């Protein structure tokens, strides 16, 4: 889809035609307009996700790192329809517990998980030239590693999609206070980014996970509210921010890996 086509759809022109949806779904284009205009509306997460699936299927996927928010969304999607489309990034540095929960999710819901790896040559060059812990030296080095292991693979994962779903919540960090339930993702060609849990609290996430007995990453029980690559994640201490255990050696305002950057969250929209 070209930029012009995306712009047309955002203007409410025949979304159904552009996404190959069934006749009769064209009205959803107006829904898109409404969602994009609505600032932090606080609609029920199931309503947001259901609308997104109906509107963008099959060109929509959940980008999951299998944290508590993501597994809640997988369960929610599965209850709406069982063709859950999940993409995930295998950075090569993930904790064992993340693979374990991925497998439990696969078995529980009977769904495929599409994994995207970094380019082998880029990782080989990174480790040969900068070593195995280059990300500890500076924010720039860390973003370089995230760029190779996360940002570039995500770009491939999102290619061909019209929308992606994430578990972002405003409460998670100061870099996320402007997250909306539906927004245009300028960093990824203007596709639609859907964050159904934007206004959920941590307690709401866990209430959902426990009520539906959703498999979750065992690291959550060991003090890890947010889980990324093993060498860049630690448990948090009482009273610390939810993402204090991610890149704990950095200033909180720099702590995004480049997957969710944009105006208003500490980055001018550049992917680094």
Write out the catalytic residue numbers: 257
* Residue span binding ligand SF4 (CB under 6 A) among the ranges 47-55, 61-69, 146-154, 194-202: 146-154
Least Å distance, CB 125 to ligand SF4, is: 14
Provide φ and ψ at 268, rounded to 5°.
-75, 15
Q: Indicate which single residue of 15, 145, 197, 259 sits in contact with ligand SF4 (rule: CB under 6 A).
A: 145
| Residues 83-112 contacting ligand SF4, CB under 6 A | 91, 93
Q: Does 154 bind ligand SF4 (CB under 6 A)?
A: no
Q: Tell me how far apart the alpha carbons of residues 15 and 261 are, in angstroms, rounded to a whole number.
A: 26
Give the per-residue contact string, 121-140, with ligand SF4 (x = CB under 6 A; - = no): --------------x-----
Number of residues this chain uses to bind ligand SF4 (CB under 6 A): 13
Spell out the residues 6+ positions from residue 21 whose beta carbon is closer than 8 angstroms to its own: 15, 28, 55, 57
| Residues 242-261 contacting ligand SF4, CB under 6 A | 257
| Residues 221-240 contacting ligand SF4, CB under 6 A | 228-229, 231-232
Report the Cα 37 to chain-centroid distance in Å: 21
Q: Classify 263 as helix, strand or coil.
A: coil
DSSP string, 65-111: ---HHHHHHHHHHHHH-S---EEEE--S---HHHHHHHHHHHHHHT-
Maximum Cα interatomic distance, the chain, rounded to a whole number of Å: 55
Token representation of residue 89: 């990034």
> Residue of minimal CB distance from ligand SF4?
229
For tokens 């929960």, name the residue: 101
Q: Does 269 bind ligand SF4 (CB under 6 A)?
A: no
Binding site for ligand SF4 (CB under 6 A): 91, 93, 135, 142, 145-146, 149-150, 228-229, 231-232, 257
């Amino acid at each position: 889809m070209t930029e012009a086509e995306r712009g047309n759809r955002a203007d409410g022109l025949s979304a159904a035609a552009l996404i190959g949806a069934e006749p009769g779904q064209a009205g959803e284009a107006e829904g898109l307009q409404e969602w994009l205009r609505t600032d932090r509306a606080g609609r029920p997460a199931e309503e947001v996700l259901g609308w997104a699936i109906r509107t963008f299927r099959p060109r929509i996927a959940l980008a999951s790192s299998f944290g508590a928010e993501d597994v809640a969304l997988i369960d929610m999607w599965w209850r709406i329809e069982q063709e859950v489309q999940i993409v995930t990034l295998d950075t090569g540095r993930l904790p064992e517990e993340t693979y374990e929960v991925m497998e439990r999710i696969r078995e529980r819901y009977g769904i495929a998980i599409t994994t995207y790896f970094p380019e082998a040559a880029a990782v080989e060059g990174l480790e040969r030239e900068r070593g195995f812990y280059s990300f500890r030296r500076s924010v720039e080095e860390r973003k370089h590693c995230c760029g190779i292991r996360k940002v570039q693979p995500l770009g491939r994962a999102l290619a061909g999609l019209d929308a992606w779903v994430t578990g972002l919540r405003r409460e998670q960090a100061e870099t996320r206070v402007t997250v909306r339930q539906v927004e245009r993702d300028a960093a990824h060609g203007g596709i639609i980014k859907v964050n159904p849990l934007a206004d959920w609290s941590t307690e709401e996430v866990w209430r959902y996970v426990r009520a539906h007995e959703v498999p979750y990453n065992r690291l959550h029980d060991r003090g890890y509210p947010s889980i990324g690559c093993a060498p860049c994640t630690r448990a948090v201490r009482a009273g610390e921010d939810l993402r204090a255990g991610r890149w704990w050696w950095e200033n909180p305002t720099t702590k995004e890996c480049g997957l969710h950057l944009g105006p208003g969250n500490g980055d001018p929209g550049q992917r680094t």
